[in-house]
């Protein structure tokens, strides 16, 4: 047989024409011919390859694979073997490796068997395949395995694919959804939302949209989702399909609603707080102006809350506030707003009232909710409230401050007594300005020496001899004349000025008492009583102040009695007992003023153990005489006598009243029957005086 080189010239030409790098090998793998393309692919010249084993082109790590190919080829020499899509490479002359597809085929020439091996550069193809593989992996991560619910939809909005997260969100399988729209699992009220956005994208108005809609889970749950929808277009801009992703914001919305509720509602009562109320009030005012209507604002303040809170503790106080709020809420109209304004104050916004009379009827309805006592922690607690009502309409000025007006009306209601309401009038504003001006003038009255102490005699009812004086502050205004104490004392109590007035009263009273001498050798010098407000009595510096003033005056502590009302005594009862014990330890007595008008309780009276109880004048000279009142007066005197406390009757004006008190064996008294309060200069004439009876 002739060699390949002796073959017809058409064979080399044929092999050169092949599109792959090609080698002609004998059965032992020795190369006899290579085309030019093989040399280019491997970097070898034809002379370097011919006569060499094909093994030189196989990387060592793949030579076992070549043996596998040879065995496969030997089993069926006539079969053409093609290996592609494998990590096959050819070892090039420079040591680098070229990715290739590999093929073997047999050839018989003149009875001799040859093998034609061909390689094709598969680098670009492999890069493309790897890119496809990466893209598929990314797609799986971005869609199939994505934790975010996603679907693909065609231009008719029919679902073509749905990932597992979306299936889980709506409780349906992918097979159930593919080919259909989202209507079966969209909340009926939100169907138009999705359709409107879809139509807008079909018209080409936008390629991306975001909106919120509700889905229905198969178990009945409503899922609130933020939906993002994007249009996919081809190179010509034609719409191909939609990519839709959804984010479940149900819990987020619930948390937002909870935080919003907490930010706008009182945590104790659940009512609207100031921030929400101010917003409602702003809208109500705009509505009144726009619709030519009328609305009312009612400010409610509990009259007795502080006494309950301080007597029974803050836990009971909080429960009481919650119960009060519940009752008020029970009569609140759906169009109105009830707010806890702070502390024990509530605001009620009554919208669309037709008249001031209707606003007053709303106020009275609120008051009636407090008629029945509250049962809390085994206690039966009565509670009253005062209400201030402010009404406005479209003719009211824009700068109108209705909360301020309601507060002024509340002040008037409290002045009239407990459990009342008052409607704001323009005169109240002038009165408030007058009070403010008077309060400022009171501040300057002390250094101007406009304030002075007057003293009302206290007599022994058996002998009618003066045994003491009650110190009472008086203010002679340079322009207004005498200003009543029930006018300026409440003004002082609203600021720290009351502490300054209290110190002045104590100093002047002790200074005066130190000059009173005993009337006879058998009688002690008169004592003096000084009234203390709640802020004075509970001021941490009170006992130190008393000791300091006693030392400065030289007066014996036993000649000083401080007066406090029952209400003051029962505020923070623990502190009260501590102060009384301290005062008693240095010899200062305590008198319980206005006894019988506050939280009268034998257990409290026993705890406080005052030196004196002062019987309120409403029992001494009642508006209407009755057997019931006489028995009450008798009981109070008897209690004091049995507890070895002095009983002092206030407001004695007639001989008949004096006779009744003597018969009851009341020990002390004061009133106009004996003398009004007099300036200090006149007190020495009254020391030891016996009034005719």
**Res. 667 pLDDT band, cuts 50 70 90:** very high
Domain assignment of residue 435, yes or no: no
State the number of CA atoms in the 13 A half-sphere of 502 facing the CB.
25
pLDDT tens-digit series, residues 21-62: 899 888 888 999 899 988 888 899 989 999 999 889 988 887
Domain assignment of residue 131, yes or no: no
Token reading at 272: 């609207």
Whether the Cβ atoms of residue 657 and residue 620 lie closer than 8 Å to each other: yes
Are residues 25 and 152 both part of a single domain? no
Domain assignment of residue 655, yes or no: yes
Are residues 539 and 682 both part of a single domain? yes
Last residue of a domain, one of 72, 107, 122: 122
Domain assignment of residue 259, yes or no: no
Q: What domain range is 242 assigned to?
A: 146-253
Q: Tell me, what's the pLDDT at 155?
A: 85
Are residues 342 and 385 both part of a single domain? yes
The angle subtended at Cα 76 by Cα 72 and Cα 80, nearest 5°, is 80
Are residues 233 and 274 both part of a single domain? no
**Res. 357 pLDDT band, cuts 50 70 90:** very high
Q: What is the mean pLDDT of residues 545-562?
A: 93
pLDDT of 1 above 50: no
**Res. 434 pLDDT band, cuts 50 70 90:** low
Are residues 247 and 294 both part of a single domain? no
Are residues 220 and 364 both part of a single domain? no
**Res. 524 pLDDT band, cuts 50 70 90:** confident
Are residues 247 and 277 both part of a single domain? no
Domain assignment of residue 441, yes or no: no
Last residue of a domain, one of 424, 459, 477: 424
Are residues 456 and 555 both part of a single domain? yes
pLDDT tens-digit series, residues 488-500: 787 777 777 888 8
Q: What is the mean pLDDT of residues 473-491?
A: 83
Mean pLDDT of the chain: 83
Q: What is the mean pLDDT of residues 489-514?
A: 86
Are residues 275 and 248 both part of a single domain? no
Q: What is the mean pLDDT of residues 237-263?
A: 77
Are residues 51 and 191 both part of a single domain? no
Last residue of a domain, one of 186, 218, 253: 253
CATH code for the domain of 187: 3.30.450.20
Are residues 279 and 394 both part of a single domain? yes
H-state helical runs in 514-654: 534-537, 542-553, 566-570, 573-585, 602-608, 617-620, 627-642
> How far is Cα 443 from Cα 492, in angstroms, rounded to an integer?
9
> How far is Cα 512 from Cα 521, in angstroms, rounded to an integer?
20
**Res. 68 pLDDT band, cuts 50 70 90:** low
User: For a pLDDT cut of 90, what percent of the chain falls above it?
Assistant: 27
Q: What is the mean pLDDT of residues 148-172?
A: 88
Are residues 190 and 285 both part of a single domain? no
Highest mean pLDDT among 171-175, 500-504, 548-552: 548-552
- The conformation of residue 386, written as its DSSP 8-state character, comes to E
**Res. 521 pLDDT band, cuts 50 70 90:** low
CATH code for the domain of 384: 3.30.70.270
Whether the Cβ atoms of residue 615 and residue 648 lie closer than 8 Å to each other: yes
> How far is Cα 375 from Cα 366, in angstroms, rounded to an integer?
19
Domain assignment of residue 429, yes or no: no
pLDDT of 105 above 90: no
Report the candidate in 388, 392, 387, 385 with the shortest Cα–Cα distance to residue 351: 392
Of 3-12, 79-88, 104-113, 232-241, least confident by mean pLDDT is 3-12
Domain assignment of residue 627, yes or no: yes
Residues in CB range of 582: below 8 A, 6 or more apart: 543
Q: What is the mean pLDDT of residues 348-371?
A: 91
Q: Tell me, what's the pLDDT at 352?
A: 86
573-585 helix and 542-553 helix, angle to the nearest 10 degrees: 20
User: pTM for the full model?
Assistant: 0.51
Q: Tell me, what's the pLDDT at 661?
A: 92
Domain assignment of residue 134, yes or no: no
If one counts the domains in the chain, the total is 4
């Amino acid at each position: 047989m002739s060699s390949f080189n002796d073959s017809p010239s058409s064979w080399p030409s044929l092999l050169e024409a092949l599109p792959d790098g090609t080698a002609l090998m004998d059965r032992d793998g020795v190369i006899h011919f290579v085309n030019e393309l093989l040399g280019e692919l491997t970097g070898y010249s034809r002379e370097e390859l011919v006569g060499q084993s094909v093994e030189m082109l196989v990387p060592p790590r793949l030579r076992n694979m070549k043996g596998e190919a040879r065995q496969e080829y030997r089993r069926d020499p006539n079969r053409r073997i093609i290996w592609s899509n494998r990590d096959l490479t050819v070892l090039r002359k420079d040591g680098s490796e070229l990715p290739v597809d590999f093929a073997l085929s047999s050839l018989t020439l003149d009875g001799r068997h040859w093998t034609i091996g061909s390689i094709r550069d598969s680098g670009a193809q492999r890069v493309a395949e790897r890119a496809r593989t990466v893209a598929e992996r990314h797609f799986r991560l971005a869609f199939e395995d994505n934790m975010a619910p996603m679907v693909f939809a065609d231009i008719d909005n029919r679902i073509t694919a749905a990932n597992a997260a979306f299936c889980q969100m709506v409780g349906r399988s992918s097979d159930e959804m593919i080919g259909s729209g989202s209507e079966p699992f969209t909340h009926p009220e939100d169907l138009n939302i999705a359709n409107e956005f879809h139509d807008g994208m079909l018209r080409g108005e936008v390629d991306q949209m975001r909106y919120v809609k509700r889905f229905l889970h198969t178990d009945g749950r409503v899922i609130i989702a933020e939906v993002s929808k994007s249009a996919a277009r081809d190179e010509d801009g034609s719409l191909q399909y939609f990519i839709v992703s959804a984010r479940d914001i149900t819990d987020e919305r619930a948390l937002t609603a909870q935080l919003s509720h907490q930010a706008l509602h009182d945590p104790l009562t659940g009512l609207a707080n100031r921030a929400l109320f101010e917003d409602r009030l702003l809208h109500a005012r705009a509505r009144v102006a726009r619709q030519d209507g009328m609305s009312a604002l009612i400010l409610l303040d509990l009259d007795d809350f502080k006494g309950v809170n301080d007597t029974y503790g803050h836990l009971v106080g909080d429960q009481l506030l919650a119960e009060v709020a519940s009752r008020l809420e029970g009569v609140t109209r759906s169009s109105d707003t009830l707010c806890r304004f702070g502390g024990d104050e509530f605001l009620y916004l009554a919208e669309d009232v037709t008249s001031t009379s209707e606003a007053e009827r709303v106020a009275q309805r609120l008051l009636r909710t407090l008629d029945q006592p509250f049962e809390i922690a085994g206690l039966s607690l009565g509670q009253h409230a005062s209400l201030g009502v402010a009404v406005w309409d479209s003719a009211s000025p824009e700068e109108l401050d209705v909360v301020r007006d309601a507060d002024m009306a509340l002040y008037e209601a409290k002045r009239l007594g407990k459990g009342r309401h008052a409607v704001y009038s323009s005169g109240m504003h002038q009165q408030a300005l007058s009070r403010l001006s008077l309060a400022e003038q009171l501040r300057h009255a002390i250094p101007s020496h406009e304030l002075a102490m007057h003293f009302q005699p206290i007599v022994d009812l058996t002998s009618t001899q003066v045994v003491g004086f009650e110190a009472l502050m008086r203010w002679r205004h340079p322009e207004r004349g005498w200003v009543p104490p029930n006018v300026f004392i409440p003004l002082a109590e609203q600021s720290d000025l009351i502490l300054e007035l209290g110190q002045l009263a104590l100093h002047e009273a002790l200074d005066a008492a130190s000059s009173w001498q005993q009337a006879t050798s058998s009688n002690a010098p008169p004592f003096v009583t000084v009234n203390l407000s709640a802020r004075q009595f509970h001021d941490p510096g009170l006992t130190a102040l008393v000791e300091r003033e006693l030392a400065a005056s030289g007066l014996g502590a036993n000649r000083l009695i401080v007066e406090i009302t029952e209400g003051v005594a029962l505020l923070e009862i623990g502190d009260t007992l501590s102060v009384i014990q301290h005062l008693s330890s240095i010899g200062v007595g305590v008198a319980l003023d206005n006894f019988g008008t506050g939280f009268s309780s034998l257990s409290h009276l026993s705890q406080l153990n005052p030196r004196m109880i002062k019987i309120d004048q409403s029992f001494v000279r009642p508006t209407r005489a009755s057997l019931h009142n006489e028995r009450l007066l008798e009981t109070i005197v008897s209690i004091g006598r049995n507890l070895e406390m002095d009983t002092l009757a206030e407001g004695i004006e007639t001989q008949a009243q004096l006779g009744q008190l003597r018969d009851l064996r009341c020990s002390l008294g004061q009133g106009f029957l004996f003398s009004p309060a007099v300036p200090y200069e006149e007190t020495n004439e009254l020391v030891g005086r016996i009034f005719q009876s």
